């Protein structure tokens, strides 16, 4: 007898897919590993040595569950940001926390506003809970605050998502622009401010927003500047009432002891974060040189990746991505036209960048056919 679970109608209507295909999938398909992993915006410069030491020590205690309240990490994050622990929730990366937030507020049919081509995992969560996405186009290579606010006024969404700095284009708005957006949100709309790359952005990018403001929730991560993507540690800053609501739905044992110890030690080592910023800046400059040497145009970046305009269309850029993969170089590209004319290359150590530099001319030639 064949029997399947009684899925909800919503789940039955959804495709079984994921927002990103991981490099490991491509490696299994090709039968060989990548020699330059430059597609996932990880920090190949690695985590703080102090964090590595702390995680090694915590491994001896891994027989114990992690603190379900994430107390020590929340206290340290609160001190770092000048807020109270009641303003902080910790979770399984920004992706996990976005899922909890959507679960808290979005019911089938609820409107949510975002930008077409912006971070797709947020859209994945909204679809998973039956929300209706209303997308506005970018203006050039930037998310458009005015268009987002205008659409929010039209559809009165539960959530309005914006990333600053932005993925996949690497652009950013001054913090004052984001702070002004908060003051102009329609009544009842919650701004979802994704600041995954804020640790790598120029001065003035961080918006000055009161943590008690109930109109916004800010998301941060240890995956980028802190170099700990494999641990999945993210956190959000918001008014205590909203933070407390996360306790209704979050996985209270989702953060293991090693992750908590590593993040705590990484946060305490701001010198290492400054070192990574220097490395990222140098890598962005080198990637821009490589693009220029191949007749391509790099876009200004406030992140740990560089978006490079290939000067053609999405089909050509996809061919470049494929040809680079065939030469052992993993990169990604934006999903949506006209941004899919570009490729996106993560910063990394000099050896990886030189591998990319050597492969790019061959990949371009092969893509041009």
The residue from 246, 268, 290 where one domain ends is 268
Domain total in the chain: 2
Mark whether 40 and 90 lie in a shared domain.
no
- Of 218, 233, 268, the residue at which a domain comes to its end is 268
Peptide bond into 338 cis (omega under 30): yes
Instruction: Examine the domain organization and report whether 72 and 163 are in the same domain.
Output: yes
Residue 13 placed within a domain: no
For 106-132, the pLDDT digits (tens) are 999 999 999 999 999 999 999 999 999
The verdict on 287 and 204 lying in the same domain is no
Structural domain contains residue 309: yes
Q: Percent of the chain beyond pLDDT 70? A: 100
* 7 within a domain of the structure (yes/no): no
Q: From residue 343, how far is each of 82, 198, 306 by CA, in Å? A: 38, 22, 8
In a domain, 10, yes or no: no
Candidates 73, 113, 67; CA nearest to 89 is: 73
Report the CATH number that the domain containing residue 104 is assigned in CATH. 3.40.640.10
Task: Mark whether 25 and 88 lie in a shared domain.
Answer: no
Statement to judge: residues 233 and 281 lie in one domain: no
Q: Phi and psi for 349 in degrees, rounded to 5?
A: -60, 160
Nearest-angstrom CA–CA distance, 20 and 73: 29
Please provide the average confidence, as pLDDT, over all residues in the chain. 96
| Each residue's pLDDT tens digit, 47-103 | 999 999 999 999 999 999 999 999 999 999 999 999 999 999 999 999 999 999 999
Asked whether the beta carbons of 173 and 164 are under 8 A apart, the reply is yes
351: containing domain: 20-46+271-368
0.85 surpassed by pTM: yes
Query: What H or E segment, with its residue span, contains residue 342?
Result: strand 342-346
Taking residues 260-280, report their average pLDDT: 98
Please check whether residue 12 lies inside any domain of the structure.
no
Which has the closest alpha carbon to 87: 247, 197, 208, 242?
242
Residues 100 and 234 in one domain: yes
Residue 288, in any domain of the structure: yes
Looking at the structure, tell me whether residues 341 and 231 fall in a common domain: no
What pLDDT band is residue 1 in, cutting at 50, 70 and 90? low
Does residue 306 share a domain with residue 234?
A: no
Same domain, yes or no: 110 and 249: yes
Would strands 297-298 and 159-163 be described as parallel, antiparallel, or unpaired? unpaired
Query: Does 217 lie in the same domain as 74?
Result: yes
Percentage of the chain lying above the pLDDT 90 cut: 93
- CA distance to 5, 129, 266, per residue, from 9 (Å): 12, 11, 44
Structure tokens at 13: 């209507």
Residue 11 lies in a domain: no
| Domain stop point among 233, 268, 303 | 268
Tokens of 53: 């030491």
pLDDT of residue 117: 93
Shared domain for 229 and 193, answered yes or no, is: yes
CATH code for the domain in which residue 348 is found: 3.90.1150.10
pLDDT-derived band at 294, boundaries 50, 70, 90: very high
Domain-embedded: residue 251: yes
Say if residue 74 is in the same domain as residue 126.
yes
């Amino acid at each position: 007898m064949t029997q399947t679970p009684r899925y909800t109608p919503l789940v039955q209507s959804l495709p079984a897919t994921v927002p990103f295909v991981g490099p490991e999938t491509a490696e299994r398909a090709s039968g060989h590993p990548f020699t330059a992993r430059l597609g996932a915006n990880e920090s190949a410069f690695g985590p703080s040595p102090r964090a590595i030491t702390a995680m090694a020590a915590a491994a001896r205690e891994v027989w114990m569950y992690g603190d379900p309240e994430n107390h020590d990490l929340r206290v340290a994050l609160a001190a770092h940001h000048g807020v109270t622990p009641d303003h902080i929730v910790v979770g399984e990366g920004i992706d996990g926390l976005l899922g909890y937030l959507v679960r808290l507020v979005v019911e089938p049919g609820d409107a949510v506003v975002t930008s077409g081509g912006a971070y797709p995992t947020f859209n994945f969560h909204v679809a998973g809970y039956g929300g209706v996405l209303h997308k506005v186009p970018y203006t050039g290579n930037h998310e458009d605050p005015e268009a987002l606010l205008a659409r929010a006024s039209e559809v009165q969404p539960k959530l309005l998502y914006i990333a600053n700095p932005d993925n996949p284009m690497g652009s950013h708005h001054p913090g004052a622009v984001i702070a002004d957006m908060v003051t102009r949100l329609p009544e009842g709309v919650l701004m979802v401010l994704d600041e995954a790359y804020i640790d790598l952005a120029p001065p003035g990018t961080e918006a000055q927003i009161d943590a008690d403001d109930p109109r916004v929730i800010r998301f941060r991560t240890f995956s980028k500047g802190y170099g700990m993507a494999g641990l999945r540690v993210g956190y959000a800053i918001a008014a205590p009432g909203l933070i407390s609501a996360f306790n209704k739905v979050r996985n209270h044992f989702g953060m293991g002891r090693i992750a908590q110890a590593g993040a705590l030690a990484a946060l305490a080592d701001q010198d290492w974060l400054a070192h990574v910023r220097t490395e990222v800046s140098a890598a962005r400059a080198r990637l821009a040189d490589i693009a220029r040497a191949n007749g391509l145009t790099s876009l200004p970046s406030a992140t740990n990746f560089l978006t490079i305009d290939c000067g053609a269309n999405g089909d050509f850029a996809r061919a470049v991505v494929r040809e680079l993969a065939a030469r052992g170089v993993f990169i990604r590209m934006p999903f949506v036209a006209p941004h899919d004319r570009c490729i996106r290359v993560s910063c990394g150590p000099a050896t990886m960048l030189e591998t990319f530099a050597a492969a790019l001319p061959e990949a371009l030639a092969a893509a041009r056919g």
